[in-house]
Amino acid sequence: MTNQKSLIEFWDVQLRRIWDEGYAEKLSDYLRSLDVKTILDCAGGSGYPAIEFKKMNWDISYSDGVEGTVDFFKKKMIGAEVDIPCFYSKWEDLDGNRPETYDAVLCRGNSFISINSYIDEVLDPPSFEESYDNMKKAVKAFHNSLSPGGVLYIDIPVKEVAKPEKPYSRVDTDNKTFEDKISGSYDPLTKIRELVIDSHNLITGEKVYYKTYQYPISKEELYKLLDEAGFSKVLQSPVDEPQYMDAFVAFK
């Protein structure tokens, strides 16, 4: 079991199986319908959908809170022959770092609950309270990064996968190119979700294995955070999302 790929390199392949090909365009159409002109994708990751959006002529900026991920994105951006303003920032520091505000801030792609995630065992893991406190700061920073009337697009996994009552295990495969064994469990005492991904590339024989820990939050907890940060209205997103994701739009 070797991790020949960094997590972001692995994610760059995974995400294309999770969000269908037409997703970026549907999200773009929805944002245009809200009269959005400028966007910050603050969980920019490997550049999805920022690169697709740039190719659709959006005024989009990129940020991410992991320096290696920003470097990975810069290389992808060069490969895609687009030029997107990009910077490193943790969500919690976003408003302190930047003078600009945007019509839309994206924190999607199953990003938000990874705010204090960690990989494999760590000696001194963050507590739920610490993680929740950082979520509070992050949501406040998203609010401050928006122009008046601006919109935050944010998603979390649905309860059945984020906080399963019993451990689950499944195999995702197309029988030709990949076979991924995915197991998840949730401990209501520590509030930790454990997610194990054991992925096998059936063409190259490459195997990757990751065990990650996160503190998922419920829809009600997210609504509370958004309300406390000052958002005036929150709606379920009308954009088609994978069945195990819940996406929301919160208006400043």
Ligand X SMILES: C[S@@+](CC[C@H](N)C(=O)[O-])C[C@H]1O[C@@H](n2cnc3c(N)ncnc32)[C@H](O)[C@@H]1O
CA–CA separation, 105 and 37 (whole Å): 11
* Residue choice 10, 84, 95, 109 for contact with ligand X (CB under 6 A): 109
* 145 near ligand X (CB under 6 A): no
| Nearest residue relative to ligand X (C-beta) | 109
Whole-number Cα distances in Å, 245 to 27, 35, 79: 14, 25, 30
The DSSP letter of residue 112 is G
Among residues 103, 128, 104, the alpha carbon closest in space to that of 117 is found at 128
Decide: is 98 part of the binding site for ligand X (CB under 6 A). Answer: no
Judged by CB under 6 A, the stretch of 110-118, 151-159, 232-240, 242-250 that binds ligand X is 110-118
- Of 3, 6, 114, 185, which lies in the binding site for ligand X, with binding defined by CB under 6 A? 114
Residue 31 beta carbon to ligand X: minimum distance, rounded to whole angstroms? 15
Q: Which is nearer to ligand X, 58 or 233 (CB)?
A: 58
- Residue with Cβ nearer ligand X (120 or 165): 120
Binding of ligand X by 90 (CB under 6 A):
yes
Regarding 216 and contact with ligand X (CB under 6 A), the answer is: no
Q: State the sign of the Cα–Cα–Cα–Cα dihedral 67, 45, 164, 245.
A: positive
Q: Does 108 bind ligand X (CB under 6 A)?
A: yes
Binding mask 40-79 for ligand X (x = CB under 6 A): ---x-xx-x---------------xxx--x----------
Q: Which of 112, 135, 140, 49 is nearest to 248 (CA)?
A: 112
Cβ atoms of residues 155 and 247 within 8 Å: yes
- Closest-CA residue to 58 (of 47, 45, 67, 66): 47
14 binds ligand X (CB under 6 A): no
Reported as type and span, the H/E element at residue 14 is helix 7-18
Chain residues binding ligand X by CB under 6 A are: 11, 15, 43, 45-46, 48, 64-66, 69, 90-91, 108-111, 114-115
